[in-house]
Amino acid sequence: MRPVRAVLVKNTSSVTDVWSSAMAVGLEPATELAPVPGIRIGTIAAGIRRPGRLDLTLFELAPGSRTAAVFTRNQFCAAPVTVARHHLAGMPPRGLVINTGYANAGTGDAGEEDAVACCRAAAAALGCRAEEVLPFSTGIIGARLPNDRILAALPQAASVLAEDHWLDASRAIMTTDTVPKGISRVVRGGVMPVTITGIAKGSGMIEPNMATMLAFIATDADIPQALLQDLLKEVVAVSFNQITVDGDTSTNDACVLIATGRSGVPLKAILEPFRTALHAVCEGLAQALVRDAEGATKFVTVEVSGARTGDEARDVAYAIARSPLVKTALFAGDPNWGRMIAAAGRAAHKSLDTHAVSLRLNGVCVFRDGAMAPDYREEEGVAAMRLDEIHILLNLGAGRHGARVWTSDLSHEYVRINGEYRT
């Protein structure tokens, strides 16, 4: 399967951050995202960390909206994750409040108090209860939120609520991202068209369960709560949980799916086309995170086939995708297939018949029958690895299961960005 290209929006921020010299790989900018009836968004520059940039976002959800979410599995989860889980378990949300700049992670009881205070202020601005607001934060770990600025700015965010502010929201949630990320799809087939729009942020500390990412996806379809949660878990498993940049799982990951029901179209009337469109949105956003990975110069698909189990295929794929030696070879354009089979060998679950294994780089067979392919020519491998998009296909020759992971290379720029992140 060919990678799905993410539909993205241009970054029109006047603020240039230290990482802005990095270039995203193969992203096609879009000029608009479709509003979702029942969702209003307000974004402002609250001066949370960098003056003059959008950094605070408020979502207002229409009454009757249903919300599903999945969160990080990192045991050091951030305060807003703890509060959001608690609030979501209690009652349907009427609002989301999102800040960038500071993650509010590793901040103890005071951090939870800060997150709850943000919910109270957002609720006052929206006219709902604090328990009906979900908080989200992204940025530096270990520092408390500048709540004086956030609380003072939330009424202003509420004053600019509008359905067509998805583009601004995609910019406002960015941290080290170089390009805001958003995708819209329209599903037809029912009485009325149904819209799906999603935005996401993240470019480093990316690893499944979930990644240093926030993603917010909304639709005006009418979807029962239990089915909404099932759909979210289904699409996350094959999108946001199939990516890795650096093997690090963040403290703040969250993916939210909201169904306002405002179209009046029940999901059962458009189930399959809706599922296809939702998969496309989430897969496109997930790939966009990798294409915009910190310092990335390559977008890489690692595909493993012929495994004995799905877990084995997944473990082998991730071993290749996570390997610093493989990732630096990708950056150099070096067809160092030895690093790839070495990574596969340490991840395979049982004894492996190495003579049954084959490896291809963008279609060029470099390894088979236990050794370098006899017809392989180094110049072919070099040409394959010089491309911006690389497909690594490893067949273990041991079974019928497979897995696929999207990753990036590891460049000098990645080190610089993360070395300078807190300065």
Distance between CA atoms of 82 and 102, rounded to whole angstroms?
16
Asked if 7-291 and 299-419 have one fold, the answer is no
Contact 263, 222 (CB under 8 A): yes
Single pTM value for the model: 0.89
Q: Which whole number is the average pLDDT over 92-96?
A: 98
Nearest to 23 by CA among 299, 320, 330: 299
Q: Which whole number is the average pLDDT over 302-328?
A: 96
Distance between CA atoms of 147 and 115, rounded to whole angstroms?
9
Distance between CA atoms of 6 and 102, rounded to whole angstroms?
27
Residues facing residue 100 across a β-bridge: 138
Q: Which whole number is the average pLDDT over 250-257?
A: 89
Q: Residue 43 catalytic? A: no
The single residue of 212, 244, 249, 407 carrying the catalytic annotation is: 212
Instruction: Kindly tell me if the per-residue pLDDT of 212 is higher than 60.
Output: no
Largest Cα separation within the chain, whole Å, is 71
Q: Dihedral through CA 184, CA 138, CA 244, CA 292, nearest 10?
A: 60
Q: Which whole number is the average pLDDT over 164-168?
A: 96
Q: What is the pLDDT of residue 1?
A: 29
Q: What is the pLDDT of residue 317?
A: 97
Q: What residue segments make up the domains of the chain, in order of their start? A: 7-291, 299-419
Task: Give the residue carrying structure tokens 């009652």.
Answer: 91
**CATH 3.60.70.12, domain 7-291, yes or no:** yes
Tokens, residue 282: 């989430």
Q: What is the pLDDT of residue 203?
A: 64
Q: How many helices (H) and strands (E) does the chain have?
A: 11, 17
| Rg of the Cα atoms in the chain | 22
390: left (phi over 0), alpha (psi -120 to 50) or beta: beta
Task: Give the residue carrying structure tokens 């990095």.
Answer: 22
Nearest to 406 by CA among 321, 295, 307: 321
Q: What is the pLDDT of residue 87?
A: 98
Backbone angles phi, psi at 273, to 5 degrees: -65, -35
Instruction: Kindly tell me if the per-residue pLDDT of 246 is higher than 90.
Output: no
Whole-number Cα distances in Å, 86 to 130, 187, 234, 257, 321: 12, 33, 22, 17, 35
Whole-number Cα distances in Å, 104 to 138, 145, 146, 188: 8, 6, 10, 41
Q: For the segment 322-355, what is each residue's pLDDT rounded down to a tens digit?
A: 999 999 999 999 999 999 999 999 999 988 999 9
24 confidence band (pLDDT: 50, 70, 90): confident
Q: What is the mean pLDDT of the chain?
A: 89
Task: Give the residue carrying structure tokens 């989860």.
Answer: 77
Q: What percent of the chain has pLDDT over 70?
A: 88
Q: For the segment 341-397, what is each residue's pLDDT rounded down to a tens digit?
A: 999 999 999 889 999 999 999 999 999 999 999 999 999 999 999 999 999 999 999
At 305, which amino acid appears?
Answer: S
**CATH 3.10.20.340, domain 299-419, yes or no:** yes
- With 0-12 / 13-18 / 19 or more C-beta atoms within 10 angstroms meaning exposed / middle / buried, residue 226 is exposed
